[in-house]
Amino acid sequence: MSTIVRKLISTANAAKPVAPYNQAVVADRTVYVSGCLGLDKATMQLVPGGATEQTEMALKNLQAVLKAADSDIDKVVKNTVFVKDLNDFAAVNEVYKRVFSKDFPARSCVQVAKLPMDALVEIECIALTGTVYTVPNE
């Protein structure tokens, strides 16, 4: 059998994990990014404001982790967005579409009973590394 590398990703450019997990794990050419909250990396506190501000910060943390894993937003294939209140769906989407502005990845968005640190939003993703070509559906 061939060997597949499992690389643990950690960066100071994003908020640290709030429990025993890595910011991301790369297996072969696939990046699995753990859920990112709207935490300020310096204070490890949720940013002030509501779902809009927490989504902005969660996506900044997500981008920093992707960069540390040698990936980027345009290499994301699947996002999962967890919200405390589905009434924030429109606000989250307004921020989301500024970051994911074209060739959108697959995505799920679900309301959950509670998120860590009583956050309003958490975003995780699966992405690729290396050269990636996007082919539009015809």
Q: Which residues, in sequence order, are CB contacts of 45 under 8 Å at separation 6+?
A: 39
Domain count for the chain: 1
Each residue's pLDDT tens digit, 98-133: 999 999 999 999 999 999 999 999 999 999 999 999
Q: What is the pLDDT of residue 115?
A: 97
Domain CATH code at residue 19? 3.30.1330.40
Please say if 36 is a catalytic residue: no
pLDDT at 2 over 90: no
88 assigned to some structural domain:
yes
Show the domain range for 51.
6-128
Q: Helices (H), strands (E): how many in the chain?
A: 2, 6
Question: Among residues 77, 109, 126, 132, which one is catalytic?
Answer: 109
Residue 28, both tokens: 């072969």
